[in-house]
Structure formats: C-alpha cells, structure tokens
Copies of this chain bind each other. A is one copy, B any other.
Amino acid sequence: MTGSSTDHMLKVTWSSSTGWGVPEIVPYAPLPLDPAATVLHYANECFEGMKAYRSKSTGKIRIFRPNLNAKRLNMSADRIALPSFDNDEFIALMRAYVAVEERWLAWSGNATFTVGDDNDFLYLRPMIIGTTPRLGLARPNDAMFLIIASKLPSWHSRPLRLLASSPAETVRAWPGGFGYAKVGANYGPTLQYQTHAASLGYDQVLWLFDAERRYVTEAGGANFFVVWRTDDAAVEFVTAPLELGTVLDGVTRRSVIELVRERMPDIRVTERQFSVDEIAAAVDSHRIIEAFACGTAYFIAPVAGINISGQEIPIPLKVEGKSGEYARTIRRWLEEIMYGETDHAWGVTVN
C-alpha cells in the first residue's frame, strides 16, 4: 500500500479561519480525504522535490539550497489558490523530518564511506493540498502541508533519448498559464504524450512551443541545456528563459548557471528562446558539443539524441559514450556540494 515511501510523514493542517496548526511527525499512513475534497476535483495541489544526502566527510545529513524550494513552494501555492507557508518554518520542518528519517540513508560509520553513486539519497516531497469538502469551484478554506519521503531508484543511469513534441498537436505550457509553477496541473496532462514517446522507445519528451518557431522549453519534467560552439567560436550553454512563464525555475538549472558563470568565466551562458532547428543546425555544422536535462529527480542527465520530426539527431557523449564533458564536470561539482566533500553555502547540514 505504501509503495516506496518511508515510514513517517510530517503533517500540518490549515484553515482560513485559524491558519496553520501544530506540525506533527506521525507514522506514514493513508490520509482520510473527503471524496468532495478540492484536491480531488480542481487540482489544488503543489509540491517540491528535494533530496537528502549523507556527508561523505562527516556522516551528517545535508539538503541542498532549501531556501529556493521554500520560496518556490509559496509561489506555486499562490498560483493554485492554496495558502503560503513561512519560509523559515519550512526549512525547520524539513530539518526535523529528515532527522527522523535519516536512517533510510546508508552509513558505514566512518568518514571514508563511499556513497553508491547518486543512488544514495532520500527523495523528499513537501506538498500542499486543498482539503475543503465542498464541490463548488472556490478557493479552498482548508489545506494540508505534508512532507513524505521515498527511496527512489536512480532511474536515469543511461543517457536520455528525447522525442521532440509536435507543438501543433500538444503543448505543455503557454504564456499566461502556469508552466513555471510546481503544480500537479503541469504534470498529469503530459503523461498522454509521454506514453506515446515511450511506446516509440524514447525516455522523455522534449517539449516544444510554437508550431512555427519550435522553441525548446523542458525535457520531461526537467530543464534542458544545449552546449555548442557559436559562430565566433565561443562555447555557449543555452537554456530556455524564465520570463515567459513556460518553464520551471529549477534549483538545479539555476545552480548550473551560477556554477558555470563562476567557475568557467570564458564560457557564455545564455537564457533565451531557441529552437530545436538551431540544435539540428549545430549538429549538421559540427558545432554541437553536448546537451543535458537537469532537475532534482534527474540530476544531470546527458542527452544522447533527439528525434525531431522523425529525424534522429545524435548528440555527442565524449566521456565513454555516457556523458558530455561539461555535464560530467558540473555533476561532480554538484555532488561535492551535496555530499559535503567541500564546504559550500548551498549545502545545509540537517543535524
């Protein structure tokens, strides 16, 4: 019944008259939800994805940039008509919860413990749902904040093959919509086309927007970067911009941009609309360097190829045919911070 979840959950209820109640960490158990509860009808639900890691040097548990998740959860909650949650309280509750569930993370008892690649993490899922038991479409007067956790497999061990969507037929997000918010309404509707992609042997959909311009937005539920050589011979990382509200302001996306700008000052990092045809042209003219998807669940997932309108466009994987060199480097930088191999402000120790 409980799938791969751990055995505790953190729960706080809210009502519009009394605000947030007292948080409790309780045994993981089904939630008794009224069949008329808002969340089951009008998708008043939002969530975050985070991971907890055990420090390689100290054995202590760390989480990554939780302040960004706290802020984004509130933004998502606002977009889907749910109450906001205090940012500091969010981080305090994450710490309290992870301290209880840390035994789900491997620990050899000494500082030279080798983590099982990126497999050794605990996936954390803070979430808010609307629970008012009334069918009329209205802002919920009742809600619940929960944190649950799951031992997820590292499900992208091999490079991704992507199917570029057909934006005349299907669109993930649009300007003025809610593609930037981590709300359930962005995910369920993608499964129909994702199933189609999987039936053709692809790992994920590369979501395009605008039938003529075919702008690249996201890959599956992750952000997407392409790296190529520009006409003036610079190395450039390109990813979709946030301003149109069609892509998620990913914590990994932002961290990639910041690390590359800080540690590889010669490389250009550009947030702009770019088309899948520009990728094809870069492959044709041998300017392509690599591409990767990134997100908390995927981490840094190298891309091996993209099907664009029925044509297979191969993307180089220079490191043992498994990754691009930049993706490999950035992944290591992030792992060092996440697993506490280096001290860094982004790594927050829990206990």
Report A's interface with B, CB cutoff 8 A: 1-5, 9, 28, 30-36, 38-45, 47, 78-81, 123, 125, 127, 129-130, 132-139, 146, 148, 150, 152, 155, 167-171, 174-178, 183-192, 194-195, 220-221, 297
Contact = CB atoms under 8 A, between A and B. Distances in A.
Given A81-B192, A171-B177, A191-B80, A41 B133 contact: no
10 contacts: A1-B34, A9-B35, A40-B45, A40-B127, A41-B125, A79-B192, A136-B155, A137-B190, A137-B220, A183-B188
A3 B188 contact: no
Give the most central of A1, A3, A125, A127: most B CB within 10 Å: A3
Given A5-B133, A42-B184, 19 more contacts: A2-B133, A5-B34, A5-B35, A36-B125, A36-B150, A38-B188, A41-B184, A43-B43, A78-B192, A80-B188, A130-B188, A136-B152, A137-B220, A137-B221, A139-B195, A171-B174, A174-B174, A174-B177, A178-B189
Contacts of A30: 32-35
A135 to B, nearest CB: 5
Contact of A188 (B4, B81, B171, B175): B81
A60 to B, nearest CB: 25
B187 A137 contact: yes
Contacts of A44: 188, 191
B177 A41 contact: no
A135 B4 contact: yes
A187 B42 contact: yes
Given A45-B43, A134-B4, A189 B183 contact: yes
Contacts of A4: 134-135
Contacts of A130: 188
B189 A177 contact: yes
Contact of A127 (B41, B127, B139, B178): B41
A9 B33 CA distance: 14
A146 B135 CA distance: 14
A184 to B, nearest CB: 3
A303 B315 CA distance: 56
A137 to B, nearest CB: 6
Contacts of A184: 40-43, 184-185
Nearest to A30: B32
Contact of A40 (B39, B42, B221): B39
A40 to B, nearest CB: 6
A150 B36 CA distance: 9
Contact of A34 (B2, B78, B169): B2
Give the most central of A35, A79, A135, A152: most B CB within 10 Å: A35
A176 B185 contact: no
Contact of A139 (B34, B125, B129, B191): B191
Contacts of A133: 1-3, 5
Nearest to A47: B41
A171 B175 contact: yes
A150 B135 contact: yes
Nearest to A79: B192
